[in-house]
Amino acid sequence: MAAAPVATAPPERDRKEPAGPSPALRHRLAERGIDKQLLLLLPAVVFIVGLFVYPFCYGLGLSFQPQNGGGPFADYVRFFSDPYQFSTIWKTLVLAIPAALLNVLASVPIAYRMRGRFRGKRLLMTVLVVPITLGTVLTAEGLLNFLGPSGWLNRALEAIGLVDEPLRLINNYWGVFFSLVITGFPFAFLLISSYLSGIDPTLEKAAATLGAGWWDRFRHITLPLLAPGLATTFCLTFVLAFSVFPSAILVGNPSGETRVISIAAYQAAYEQYDYPYASTIAMIMGVVELIVVGVVLLWRSRLYTGSTGGKG
């Protein structure tokens, strides 16, 4: 009777290695967050590259190709050597920084008070957030009707005898400033409210049991924890205000005190048809924003060194 053949293992060189990385390598990659789930970010990466990175790189390259020649930095020299153009940076900063500061400072006490439960909270929240849905054009139209020479405010002031002639509150700096505050406050308020909701209220209750008043609790507990949120909110509201364009034209003086840098870029592109020069102004605009944001974030890192990101 013939013996059954004994199965032998294939030679070492004939064995097939499993496809893909080894289990140890996959484990190390997973510890660093690199796995198949990372592919879910691919659509977002394509979107960002297509709509943000590529246009930025294209505009940056275009800014070094002056239409009239003179070297790659000719348009940058042209901008900074022209006082009329260079002044747009200061005019925009004078509008954006105070508006962002006011929006943040006004949001803190209101959001702090609205942490608790009280009757009419939802209605008040709706009233505070509604302006974010109006848009800059509708807000500017409302300012024209309310603050204009024949608007409701001036007619009321004249009717009660407080003024003899209408106050000039639009088509100047104040018209644009009011527009930035109205459109930016809801945005800042929602951000501050979200940061405050992340601070554990038991910290203040513990301080209250030790005899700390509301101001001491706010100054020593809530404010330090809220500092990162304040810095982030200021940065976002500042960028939003720095890119002001419609209100600077509709309720401002686009050829004078409210000729902001975005108007200068628009005029270069669509009135002078000098696209490299317009790209140069856009790049300068971005650098100025990054400088202000960088200074604020540096202040934040010095003021707050915790790792909670604003949460208790």
Q: 69-73, 116-120, 233-237, 294-298 — which is least confidently predicted?
A: 116-120
- The confidence score (pLDDT) of residue 2 equals 52
Give the mean pLDDT of 221-225. Answer: 85
Q: What is the pTM of this model?
A: 0.80
Mean pLDDT lowest for which of 4-13, 131-140, 252-261? 4-13
**Binning pLDDT at 50, 70 and 90, where does residue 5 land?**
low
Identify which of 88, 93, 72 has the alpha carbon closest to the alpha carbon of residue 277. 72
- Across the chain, mean pLDDT equals 84
CATH superfamily of 83-302: MetI-like (1.10.3720.10)
Rounded mean pLDDT, 222-238: 90
Q: Which of 163-172, 206-215, 280-289 has the highest mean pLDDT?
A: 280-289
Sequential DSSP letters for the chain: -PPPPPP-PPPGGGPPPPSSS-HHHHHHHHHTT-SGGGGGGHHHHHHHIIIIIHHHHHHHHHHTS-TT-S-TTHHHHHHHT-HHHHHHHHHHHHHHHHHHHHHHHHHHHHHHHTTS--TTHHHHHHHHHGGGGTHHHHHHHHHHHHHSTTSHHHHHHHHTTS-SS----SSSHHHHHHHHHHHHHHHHHHHHHHHHHTS-HHHHHHHHHTT--HHHHIIIIIHHHHHHHHHHHHHHHHHHHHT--HHHHHSS-TTTTT--HHHHHHHHHHTS--HHHHHHHHHHHHHHHHHHHHHHHHHHHHH---SSTT--
Does the pLDDT of residue 185 top 90, yes or no? yes
More confident residue, 182 or 212: 182
Residue predicted with more confidence, 96 or 130:
96
Is residue 13 pLDDT above 70, yes or no? no
pLDDT at residue 312 in the model: 39
Could you read off the pLDDT of 14-60 as tens digits, one per residue? 555 555 556 666 666 666 666 677 777 888 889 888 888 888 899 99
Which pLDDT belongs to residue 68? 85
Tokens representing 284 are 């300068």
Q: Alpha-carbon distance 39 to 45, whole Å?
A: 10
- More confidently predicted of 173 and 211: 173
